[in-house]
């Protein structure tokens, strides 16, 4: 019977409900490594990556670099796209 279940599985790996809950907490997000003033250009040295992963993914850091901050961003605060100018 177990052989049939293995034989007819789709082969697509999926997370269990418990794994989904932990996935966001295990990922990292872009945060300010120092206080960034409104209007200041964000440099590579101004950001770092920390948990949880509910913000911008580290793989998207190029979208943040050389953009101006729309508002003051505190040290260790997650950076979101709404905080930076286009």
Instruction: Report how far residue 68's alpha carbon sits from residue 18's, in angstroms, rounded to the nearest whole number.
Output: 39
Written as six digits, the tokens of 81 are 């796209």
List all residues 6 or more positions away from 78 whose beta carbon is below 8 Å from its beta carbon: 29, 30, 31, 54, 55, 56
The structural domains of the chain, ordered by start, are 28-86 (3.90.1210.10)
Cβ–Cβ under 8 Å, residues 54 and 82: no
Q: Which of 44, 40, 50 is nearest to 73 (CA)?
A: 40
Cβ–Cβ under 8 Å, residues 29 and 43: no
pLDDT tens, the chain, 86 aa long: 555 555 566 677 777 877 777 776 778 999 999 999 999 999 999 999 999 888 899 999 999 999 999 999 999 999 999 999 98
């Amino acid at each position: 019977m177990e052989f049939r279940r293995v034989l007819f599985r789709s082969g697509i790996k999926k997370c269990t409900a418990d794994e989904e809950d932990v996935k966001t907490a295990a990922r990292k997000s872009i945060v300010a490594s120092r206080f960034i003033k409104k209007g200041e250009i964000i440099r590579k040295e101004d950001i770092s990556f920390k948990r949880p992963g509910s913000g911008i993914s580290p793989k998207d850091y190029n979208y943040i670099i050389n953009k101006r901050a729309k508002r003051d961003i505190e040290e260790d605060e997650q950076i979101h796209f709404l905080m930076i100018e286009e």
